[in-house]
Amino acid sequence: MTSLSTNSLQIVSNSSEFTQNLGRIIGEQASDGDVVLLTGELGAGKTCLTQGIALGLGVEGYVRSPTFVLMTRHHGRLTLHHVDLYRMASAAEAWDLGLDEQLFGEGICVIEWADRASEIFPEDCLWIDLEYGQDSDGREIILETGVPIEESRFQPLLTLLAEKSATIS
């Protein structure tokens, strides 16, 4: 099931493979300066989606959650800055990590647990919320822009995902 509204797209994933393939499409379409903010419960698929984004960017090697190192950098078609804010107590603490270099530098920035510091991100970001679905493998994925979709850099991506979501396996 897929639903595109004024600034969001809702997709139902039935497997980790689907979630990773969704991420791959996001990575293939990524542009320099994109900021992707991930939210959702522990184990909901944030790192799985990021692994797919890395595949779409042509990153070689295994991408794991940087929970303890806080930030990692992977090189592909674009540099992937992968950040995990799980251990952050405040937005100020997250900002002190030096996130401005990742947010406003070259490459794409993917931040897990972004809701821990939502006020520090640019307005035109792609927020992706992953929630548990009806069964243990299912996920409800909501992709949302911080601005009206017609003004967002992510409008072509959301339109493409709405069209392709039925064929993602």
Domain segments of the chain as ranges: 2-164
**pLDDT tens digits along 101-140:** 777 778 999 999 999 998 889 999 999 999 998 887 889 9
Mean pLDDT to the nearest integer, 76-105? 84
Terminus-to-terminus CA distance in the chain, angstroms? 13
Is pLDDT of 83 > 80? yes
Quote the pLDDT of residue 91: 84
CATH 3.40.50.300 fits 2-164, yes or no: yes
Q: Which residue from 90, 20, 13 is spatially nearest to 55, judged by alpha carbons?
A: 20
Is pLDDT of 1 > 60? no
Element (DSSP H or E) covering residue 25: helix 16-29
CA distance 43 to 139: 11
Order the strands of the 108-112 sheet from edge to edge.
Answer: 2-4, 8-13, 139-145, 126-132, 35-40, 108-112, 79-84, 71-75
